[in-house]
Chains A and B, each alone.
Chain A
Amino acid sequence: MISVKHLNKTFIEKGTPFEVLRDVNCEIEKGEVISIIGPSGTGKSTFLRCINRLEEPTSGQILIDGEDILAKNADLPRLRRKMGMVFQNFNLFEHLTVLENVSIGPIKLLGMSKNEAQAQAMELLQTVGLASKAQFMPNELSGGQKQRVAIARCLSMNPDVILFDEPTSALDPTMVHEVLTVIRNLAEKGMTMLIVTHEMQFARNVSSRVFFMNDGIIYEEGHPDVIFEHPTKPATRAFINRLRNIDFDITSRDFDRIEILAQIQGHSERYIRDAELIQRGLRVITLMLTRVMPFDGPIHLRVDISERTENFYMEITQHNHTAPMYETISDELKSEFDKLLEKCDDLLEGNSRKLSIKVRQHLPE
């Protein structure tokens, strides 16, 4: 149904070319549900946007039911009608009501009568659970509701395949579920879908095949059980078992402490459900940054979160110091830390000292 051959995409950023996609090849059959996972910045979204030519590929071939969408004389609007797309930011038409959003396509493009299109729109809104909001304007809806309307709008054109570009990334955690449920229902009805997502559990349950993208290529693909349980290649393994890391370089005494803590919190909440564990981690970081090691040279702070095991790791590196860090802590603080920390390695590497910490998952009784 969709066949991608030797797809390349190079962005030019400030004069220097940057290869986003390097020779991507794949075949997608009708009825498949494909999740595309991988680290950020590896071209997942670009790949999806190349398929319906929202991004212009640098070279390669994309066939939709045998038709080359990259051909100069390709009937782009008609080919795009076969492929719905759901965006990260919903992109509902802000000047139209929910009902009009879901019926404008059929009326203006498929020649449906207004009544017919609106009847169909109501039906679709029913399936995404939003029939009661038909007369609302988009800005009166929550993020999750908007995304469900966007899915209904996409379905209104009766597409053969739907491309989902991180459909839940812009949502509050509480709303992710409602959108995933709608997508899951579509999968059960046999809709062909390509989903770029960071929801690993969802990808694993819903997909028939998983693409792991790394560094601009489909690095490994396979059945979700294989990819998630027994990945064969090292980068896939690292990603699946991986630590979701976030790094900070602190170069000035007046660094923005609040900003750093807020970012770490936001980052952790995406992967760790245990709110208490996050609070504990943040407390350790705060104590470390304020009480233990006042700024006297650049600090590199790295927070790792293991998605699978829900562990919270931390690594603090300080250059040009020759004394171990942990030993300088006062006894009083040390007992507090010992309660919070499960493991603590304090070592000197050449000219720098490094402290690796794993935050305890459960407080000792």
Chain B
Amino acid sequence: MYIKIKYCLIVLFAILAISSCKQNSQNENADAQYYPQTLDELSGKTVAVVIGGKQDINITEQYPEINLLRLETPAEVVEAVEKGKAYACVIDTAWTIGFDLLNRGIISYFRTDIVNGDVAVAFNKREIELCQQFNNFLVQIVSDGTFKEIEERWTNDTADRVKMPDIPVPTKGKPLRIGTSPTFPFNFIQNNEWSGLENEMMRRFAVYINRPIEYQNYNFGGLVAAIASNKVDLAASSIMITPERAKMVLFSNSYRKITTCCFGRKFIDEQSTVNHKPTFKERFNSNLIEEDRWRLLLDGFVETIIISFFAILFGTILGGLVCWFRMRNGIIPRGIAKVYITILQGVPILVFLMVMFYLVFASPNVSATWVAIIAFSMNFAAYACEIFRTGIESIDQGQYEAGYVLGFNRLKTFTLIILPQAIKRIIPVYKGQVVSIIKSTSVVGYIAIQDLTKASDLIRSRTFDAFFPLIIVSIIYFLISWGIGKLMDKMVEE
């Protein structure tokens, strides 16, 4: 048995090692010895942008000839260029601070004014007073020089070694719910704490209004929706003021201007001067050991386990109930069950999760974890119920009759005679469904839950290493699934 795992792991590593060696054999090679100067020259090329960002919107409108590769975070955008998945990228210059672009063989091709805009904090439309308070606060820190100090601290190349000053944020009172999408150097995890330019600003603001803060981690594209549906009070995450966004949220005064640049790879011969590739040990250190990053993974692991466990538990109970409805004689309960199954099986789990989060449980009183547990339970139930039904219906009618004539009532016949036989038959399929639901919980990051997958995203956004966190996380998922499978086999034996 253990030999089998060993082999699995070896094969997994081998595949990943091979793919990591090949990651520089690009498909989008830079044209020899020529760097483009304008966006027009990028026609027909693949260009990476942050999804939903202003660059995305404007390029789509004005340069339809450019193939856009829309990615979730600036880290992924830079990575795409480095790995040759995109010819170039167009992003906010400030977002590239600390990426060590030169070392990764990337240079700035040209500056573009495709996006010129002001960055502000976005508030829920109801929080007019809070927004006013923030504007006052902004005036104060700009005038007394604090803002300049913050800006200088975080926008130089040593930003990732900067230590966040000690700001005693209040711990009592109604927390200020802040949505963010982690982006170095504005919002990122350092020593397992949120830090960065915007984070420092928000901490100081929290002190200013004497309220504690609570961070929620969204994808950039989901931030405005999260504010509008009152999942957070505000978002401070380099959001640029646009008329479309202004319809949904309330913007404060601007605290930063955006300058956009187009970045791309240097020529191959120049790349030879690029520094050495990090060794396995260095990567291991930077991704797991430094700043105790493994703690992120551990927390994510716990979150994944909690959501999976309760989703399977409640989903099984609910599935049993739906199955009971489904097998009743009445047309109405059967109809309800059928509709339930059809809808839940027909809607992608991610879409269903977001519907539950943004529409059904729009009230801020339900934690995202609970929304995830409810959504996954309901999804699991739809499959579990059909599994149960198949198992129960496969039992011969004669088994019921034998129970009845012995003197068992319907309930006892079912629990003592039918159920044990049905369970034995459904276990293999049920096990598959359990493993599948555990894996599908990896999408909960979309509703600001930091599960295992999201933890790897966070690490990636700091270390810019796609390879290492993803391997670790896939191995952990594999071990969870494998372990659960073994556990269930053991339970059946007993």
**Residues of chain A whose beta carbon lies under 8 Å from any beta carbon of chain B:** 52, 54, 76-78, 80-81, 83-85, 87, 89, 91-95, 104-105, 108-109, 153-154, 157
Residues facing A in B373-429 (CB within 8 A) are 396, 398-399, 401-409, 412, 416-417, 420-421, 424
- A94 CB to nearest chain B CB (Å): 6
Find chain B residues with CB under 8 A from A104 CB: 406, 416
Cβ-defined contact, A105 with B402, below 8 A? no
Given A92-B402, A94-B399, A108-B412, decide whether A77 and B417 contact each other with a Cβ distance below 8 A. no
Partner of A54, one of B404, B409, B421, B424: B404
Q: For the complex, would chain A's binding face be called helix, strand, loop or mixed by DSSP majority?
A: mixed
Report how far A24 CA is from B488 CA in the complex, Å. Answer: 54
B405 (CB) vs chain A CBs: closest residue: A85
* A and B contact pairs by CB, cutoff 8 A, 27 listed: A52-B404, A52-B405, A54-B401, A54-B404, A76-B404, A76-B409, A77-B407, A77-B409, A80-B404, A80-B407, A81-B407, A87-B402, A89-B398, A91-B398, A91-B399, A91-B401, A93-B399, A93-B417, A94-B399, A94-B421, A95-B421, A95-B424, A104-B416, A105-B406, A105-B407, A108-B416, A109-B406
Across the interface, which residues of B come within 8 angstroms of A89, CB to CB?
396, 398
User: Whose C-beta in chain A lies nearest to the C-beta of B420?
Assistant: A95
B423 (CB) vs chain A CBs: closest residue = A95
**Alpha-carbon gap, A94 to B395, bound state (A):** 10
Q: Distance in Å from the Cβ of B341 to the closest Cβ of chain A?
A: 28
Given A80-B407, A105-B407, A91:B421 Cβ within 8 A: no
A87 touches B398 (CB 8 A): yes
- Chain B minimum-CB-distance residue to A94: B421
Closest 10 A/B residue pairs (Cβ) = A81-B407, A91-B402, A91-B398, A85-B405, A105-B406, A95-B421, A77-B407, A77-B409, A95-B420, A109-B407
Interfacial chain A residues near B409, Cβ < 8 Å: 76-77
What residues of B have a CB within 8 angstroms of the CB of A154 in the complex? 405-406
Taking CB atoms, residues of chain A closer than 8 Å to B417 are: 93, 95
Q: Beta-carbon contacts of B181-219 to A below 8 Å, as 1s and 0s?
A: 000000000000000000000000000000000000000
- Chain B residues with CB under 8 Å of A93's CB are 399, 402-403, 417, 421
Asked if A80 and B405 sit within 8 Å, CB to CB, the answer is: yes
Q: Contacts of B402 on A, CB cut-off 8 Å?
A: 87, 91-93
Residues 35-72 of B, flagged 1 when their CB comes within 8 A of A and 0 if not, give 00000000000000000000000000000000000000
A80–B405 alpha-carbon span in the complex (Å): 6
Contact A87 B401, beta carbon cutoff 8 Å: yes
- A89-B398 Cα distance, complex, nearest whole Å: 8
Residues from chain B with a CB closer than 8 A to the CB of A81 are: 406-407
Which residue of B is nearest A54, CB measured?
A: B401
Distance between Cα atoms of A16 and B166 in the complex (Å):
87
Residues of A within 8 A of B401 (CB): 54, 85, 87, 91
- Chain B stretch 413-467: residues in CB contact (< 8 A) with chain A: 416-417, 420-421, 424
Beyond the given A95-B417, A95-B420, A108-B412, please list 8 additional residue pairs across the A-B interface where CB-CB is below 8 A. Answer: A52-B404, A77-B404, A80-B404, A84-B405, A89-B398, A91-B398, A109-B406, A154-B405
Which among A93, A108, A109, A157 has the greatest number of chain B C-beta atoms within 10 A?
Answer: A93
B63 to chain A, nearest CB (A): 68
A87 to B402, CA, bound (A): 8
B424 cross-chain contacts in A, Cβ below 8 A? 95
In the assembled complex, the Cα of A91 lies from the Cα of B402 at a distance in Å of: 6
- Per the bound structure, the CA–CA distance linking A84 and B404 in Å amounts to 10
Closest to B419 in A: A95
State the CA gap A78–B412 with chains docked (Å). Answer: 13
Q: Are A77 and B408 in contact (CB under 8 A)?
A: yes
> Which chain B residue lies CB-closest to A78?
B407
Min C-beta distance of A57 to chain B, whole Å: 16
- Report the nearest A residue to B399, measured CB to CB: A91
Task: Give A244 to B494 CA distance when docked, in angstroms.
Answer: 52
- B4-60, CB < 8 A from A: none
Cα-based distance from A74 to B464 in the complex (angstroms): 75
Neighbouring B residues of A109 by C-beta, 8 Å: 406-408
B423 CB to nearest A CB, Å: 9
In the complex, A77→B413 CA distance in Å? 11
- The smallest beta-carbon distance between A78 and chain B, in angstroms, is 7
Q: Contact between A54 and B405 (Cβ–Cβ < 8 Å)?
A: yes
